[in-house]
Amino acid sequence: MKIYWPLLLVFMCGHVFSQDFYFRKEPPLVIEDVRQINIIFQAEDQMIWLGTDKGVFWYDGRRYRQSLRPDQQLKKVTCIAQSRKGLIWAGYEDGYIHTMSAHGNGKNIVADSLQGSLISGLLFNNADQLFITTYGKGIWQLDGDILKRVRFRELAQIDDIYDALFDQQGRLWLATDNGIWIYQSQSPESLSHIGQDQGLPDEIVTQLEMSVNGDIWIGLYDHGLAYYDTDRDIVIPLMLLQPSLGNVIGLCIGQPGEGWMATEKSIVRYNQDGSSKEIKLPSEMKDRVGSLLYDVNGNLWVANGNKIFVANTRFEYTDPGLSGIQSLAISKDKIWIGCESGLYGMNRQQQQVSRYLENEKINILSMYTDDAGMLWIGTFGQGLYCFDPRTEKHLRLTEKNGLSNNSILNIDGHGETIWLATLGGISEVSWKGNPFNNEISITGFNDKFNFPEVYVYDVFAAPDGKIWFGTDGKGLYVYENGQFRSFETKADTVVRTDDHPKTIYSIAAGQNNTIWISGVKGQVLQLSESGQILDHFQGSQGLIKSLVRSGVSEMLMIREEGIHVMNRFGQSNLYAESSGLSSFTPTINAAIQDKDGSVWIADTDRILHYVPCREDTLQHVRMHLRGVSPGSLLTDQMATLEADSNFIDIRYTGLWYQDPASVRYRYRLIGHDHDWIYTQDLRAVYSGLSPGQYTFILEGSHSEDFSNAPSLTRQFVVIPPFYLRWWFIAGTCLLITWIAYSYFTARIKRLNKLHELEREKTMLRLHAIQAQVNPHFLFNSFNTLAGIIEENQEAAVDYVDQLSGFFRGVLTHRNAELIRLEEELEMVRNYIYILQKRYGTNLLIHEEIAHAAGWIAPLSIQMLVENAIKHNIVSAERPLSISIVVDQEWVSVSNPIQPKINAPTESTGFGLSSLVARYVYLTRRKIEIRKEQNTFTVRIPIIYNDKPV
Amino acid sequence: MALTKANGQGNIFSTQAGTISFTSEAPLEIISATSKKMEGVIDVTALSFAFAVSIRTFEGFNNGLQQQHFYENYLETDKYPTATYSGKIIEHVDLTKPGTYQVRAKGQLNIHGRSKERILKVELISTGSEIKVSAAFLVPLVDHQIEVPRIVNQKIAQEISVTVHGTLTLAVKP
């Protein structure tokens, strides 16, 4: 690697100028008695992590939170890094290494071999493998779970490694006391060295930073800054720091081409044009500078003891030691400052401020540098001056020369003509060649165009040649091609007609020949060529004193409360008191754009310089979930909540380090809230959620406008309690249906059965009755009667009595299920009388009636007697004796078995069986039929409880 | 004179009578003291060094009470009687060859029992048989936890300037 000698021209030594940023002091980190913050690290998700002498903390702009290491010890953190997967790692001075997440969980690397040695770097190559550099023990690599030392030739000699990184080719760069070593582990394995022989100004290298284009910035402890150009493979020395500033202890890259160096006492910015500026540190910084960070939003973070200072590097302050600054103008080498007391010029390198036009006591309101370098000065009451910076000659024009008024609020123009916005209308001043030598012509628009003598606040020469004028009360005027006319804004649906400004303070160019105007009520509108309102800025409620473009696409709107910076996406940031802009008193239209796109703003006794971001980025609050309950809401999968844990508790924070106090949030639970809930709290809690599906949306914004805010969404479902679950309800319904169905079916069956029973009973009774009206019996009875009638008239009458008595009984009890035992016995006696008359002594009836209470089925005993006669021989040779025994419980009818030879004419099985069947319905005890030892006995139970209905 | 390694040992240059002075420049008072009994050793082969001075050998305070405060209260010499600085030389120089070398010494500076790693610029002038050492550096009190009460704040600077001079001669080879 050779040095290209011409590039040494870039090597600047010495010129370090003081430049002010406003450093906002963050609340001090007082947890755990932290003394020194050594590392400020910003993760991919924009969270700020701090490495201190008592462990790791993370900071969201409001509060510091500790991230304890797994062994709970509080030691000095020596490096913080983030793996490609996004996990944060920390290394300590005692060799301890662990990972953590913002939720505080950590796991550590057990490394006896590293114990006691300071971890100077944790880095991840393209394959996300972890390499560890130490102070005293070389380099290690984590391979799976095994820690191995990287050994390669001279690497073994290297013990103290200050810093390391992987370059875009995957090579490992090591900053050591002996220059830079570059190690390539992939084959071919190789080791190369950058030392003084290769152009490195000094061998002690303490910082390495890689820029987005792959080049490496090199911080040299005792020297300053150097640069490695990857394309040309050379090292270029950039800057030698004055020894009085100390040693380089921190380095970070800001905007592309911009390097920030920190020494223990100072911060120096190196610019890509070779110049450098020493940043004046706030007087509150008493301790040593511990660490430096340039964050993604362009803020510069400086750790000082246990305090953190943050500066917005877009705005720089210069204090030229003047007061009453009302106007600014730019020329190639100077910034012209117009004050109440006269004209001053500030050397662009801000080294010196000089007074010009000393003999003229002028109160300068406006200034303009023309293309030839002449400075035109508008004053308060003293007319117009033209000042030639080269000769320091001046000339003066007043109302006497034809100006419409001696108080000139604004000047703009192009070529050899300028227009003056005055307190008494508009004047046009033009010249040819050198205005000092030639005639200057002045035209008053009041006379020429009948323009009233009103205050004109602003004149703007647009790029397309039109000249615009903002007046007091008469609206906007435009001068084009010799024509001067009032410019009407067309009616608009969004902006009310009475909001169309009639008093216009400031005009600036928009894209594509549009213009922006600001009105006295704070309205800011973008107008098309035809007067249509294309856009309006909503964020401001106060008077906008200046509108000025910055960079290519930004617009600055300057108010007393602060400066709104609007990017081309329409998003705006307010840079105000909370970001450091305190006691800001801008004057009207005292802001001017420089050739490089930056903007100079006059602030009464100081000058602000706004440098636009080179990259046009969307700037919004970065939302973070700090903790959620239930934990399943951490991921963005649909979560499921049980009915008894139907609540959510979401703790969040929005990162906007520029101005943490300005962050506001809104959230909404779809399914529960009708509308957004706006808050500045950091917690959303919902409890007692009824079952259903919900979507939780959370947005954060640093302005009132949430239209561009990114949102965080989580979806979840609350399961209804088991008694509301579909399967439970369905099951229950089915169960109920089944029960009802079964019940009704059973009932029908039961009813049917009852019906059947009734029918059977009736049938049986019918049969019983039918059996009783037995023609055979009648026939035999009448036969017998006929015999008796012949013999004995009285006996016949008795017989007929008995017979009729019997049939009377049958008639009386034909419907009854049960009759009294006495009544049955009565009937049985009647029957027996009749039978005895017929059979005489062939039939012997034996009665043994101990008891005659209770109930019995009608004609049951009778039937048994009848059966006995039917089935058995009843003759003189073989008389039949039937005994009827009645006791407490039973009626027994028994007879000896002497069967007839001929089968009976009727099937009597039916009769007895039907009687048995009848008794089944009547009582529990069954009729007993016994055949034993030639005796046939039938016992009928006497019923006491079951009375017939 | 060629110096050769003998018995594997390096070449050692040493002194017992180096001079070390410090000055504290505070708004209300300037305090300085010097010791002429600094001991030092440089190994020119290994490029390592070790220097030590007993605090009690400093003389030159403005008054006895001041000296007493320094010893007993601020530096606590009964507990930490010695201040040391030892480490290695970063540049790979051959001090056996006569010449003037501006090098950096990197080592642990131990004062008041607390060590701090320091990289100090040192000038070494070698004649071949002798090495003259000069260095000047600042020692911030906070680095070594030297606590000065607020009352005397205006009288004692937060950073002490130290200068070192010494002539080291080649040690007699065993």
The 3-state secondary structure of A421-446 reads EECCEEEEEEECCCCCCCCEEEEEHH
Outline where DSSP puts E strands in A185-256.
190-194, 205-210, 216-220, 224-229, 234-240, 248-253
CA distance B73 to B75: 6
Distance from C-alpha of B105 to C-alpha of B97, rounded to nearest angstrom: 19
* DSSP helix/strand/coil, A413: strand
Q: Is the pLDDT of residue B114 over 90?
A: yes
pTM value is 0.72
CB contact (8 A) between residue A204 and residue B91: no
Residue A922: pLDDT over 70: yes
- What is the spatial distance between Cα B50 and Cα B84, in angstroms, rounded to a whole number? 7
Residue contact A247–B119, C-beta within 8 A: yes
Strand, helix or coil at A6? helix
Can you read off the two tokens belonging to residue A645?
């844990």
More confident residue, A755 or B10: A755
The overall longest dimension of chain A from CA atoms, in Å, is: 190
Contacts of B90 in chain A (CB under 8 A): 177-178, 203-204
Rounded distance, CA A377 to CA B146, Å?
61
Interstrand relation of B130-140 and B159-170 (parallel, antiparallel or unpaired): antiparallel
- Flag if B90 and A247 touch (Cβ within 8 Å): no
Treating both helix axes as pointing N-terminal to C-terminal, what angle do A909-922 and A726-772 enclose, rounded to 10 degrees?
A: 130
Element (H, E) at A762: helix A726-772
pLDDT attached to residue B8: 40
Check pLDDT > 90 for residue A514: no
pLDDT at B17: 92
CB contact under 8 A, A177 and B121: no
**Which residues in chain B are contacts of A193 at CB distance < 8 A?**
none
Q: Are A596 and A610 in contact (CB under 8 A)?
A: no
Band the pLDDT of A7: cuts 50, 70, 90.
Answer: very low
**A629 near B CB under 8 A:** no
The four Cα atoms B86, B87, B89, B94 give a dihedral, to 10 degrees, of 80
CA nearest neighbour of A891 among A854, A918, A935, A917: A854
Q: Are A702 and A576 in contact (CB under 8 A)?
A: no
B159: Cβ contacts below 8 Å, ≥ 6 apart: B138, B139, B140, B141
CA torsion angle A448 A449 A451 A453 (round to 10): 0
- For residue A521, give Cα distances in angstroms to A540, A544, A822: 10, 8, 123
Of the candidates A404, A232, A305, the residue with the CA atom closest to the CA atom of residue A53: A305
Say whether residue B106 is in contact with chain A using an 8 A CB cutoff. yes
**Strand pairing partners for A259?**
A253, A270
Q: Give tens-digit pLDDT for A163-206.
A: 999 999 889 999 998 899 998 877 778 888 999 888 899 989 99
pLDDT at B7: 36
Across the interface, whether the CB atoms of B90 and A204 are under 8 A apart is answered yes
pLDDT at B121: 92
Chain A closest-CA separation from residue B91 CA (Å):
8
> Any idea which of A86-95, A578-587, B159-168 has the lowest mean pLDDT?
A578-587
Residue to substitute from A204, A263, A287, interface B, most B β-carbons within 10 A = A204
Residue A819's CB: how many other CB atoms inside 10 A? 20
- pLDDT at position A297: 81
Inter-chain touch A222–B90, beta carbons under 8 Å:
no
Q: What angle do CA A78, A83, A85 make, to 5 degrees?
A: 155
Region label for A153, one of left (φ > 0), alpha (ψ between -120 and 50) or beta (otherwise) = left
Residue type for position A322? L
Angle A25-A606-A332 from CA coordinates, rounded to 5°: 120
State the average pLDDT for chain A. 84
How far away is chain B from the Cα of A222, in angstroms, using its nearest Cα? 9
Distance between CA atoms of A225 and A263, rounded to whole angstroms?
Answer: 12
For A338-377, b where at least 16 C-beta lie within 10 A, e where not — what string? bbbebbbbbeeebeebeebbeebebbbbbbbbbeeebbbb
Rounded CA separation A611/A606 (Å): 16
Q: Which residues of A touch B91 (CB under 8 A)?
A: 203
Question: Which DSSP letter does residue A372 get?
Answer: T
Contacts of A204 in chain B (CB under 8 A): 90, 104, 119
Q: Which helix (H) or strand (E) holds A181?
A: strand A179-184
pLDDT in tens, A685-729: 998 888 888 999 999 988 777 877 888 888 888 888 777 777 888
Contacts of B121 in chain A (CB under 8 A): 222
Average pLDDT estimate for A456-476: 91
Distance CA A508, CA A514 (A): 9
Residue A16, pLDDT > 50, answer no
**Minimum mean pLDDT among A130-139, A626-635, B12-21: which range?**
A626-635
Cα separation, A206 vs A194, whole angstroms? 14
pLDDT digits (tens, 9 = 90+) for B73-112: 888 889 999 999 999 999 888 988 899 999 999 999 999 9
Going by their DSSP bridges, the two strands A97-100 and A77-82 should be labelled as unpaired
Q: Are A544 and A556 in contact (CB under 8 A)?
A: no
Give the closest-approach CA distance of B156 to chain A in angstroms.
16
Average pLDDT over every residue of A735-741: 93
Q: How far apart are CA B105 and CA B123, in angstroms?
A: 10
Give the model's pLDDT for residue B123: 94
Q: Kindly determine whether residue B119 and residue A178, on different chains, have CB atoms separated by under 8 Å.
A: no
Question: How many pairs of residues across A and B have Cβ atoms under 8 Å apart?
Answer: 14
- Chain B residues inside the 8 Å CB shell of A203: 90-91
Please answer whether residues A788 and A803 qualify as being in contact, where contact means their C-beta atoms are separated by less than 8 angstroms: no
Taking contacts as CB-CB distances below 8 angstroms, the residues of chain A near B106 are 177
Q: With CB atoms and an 8 Å threshold, state whether B104 touches A247.
A: no
Query: Chain B residue with minimal CA distance to A206?
Result: B119
Interface of B with A in 54-93 (CB under 8 A): 90-92
Query: How far apart (Å, rounded) are the C-alpha atoms in residues A540 and A561?
Result: 10
pLDDT for res A772: 61
Using the Cβ of A803 and the Cβ atoms of chain B, whether some distance falls under 8 Å is answered with: no
Preceding omega of A630 cis (within 30 degrees of 0): yes
Partners of residue A247 in chain B, C-beta under 8 Å? 119
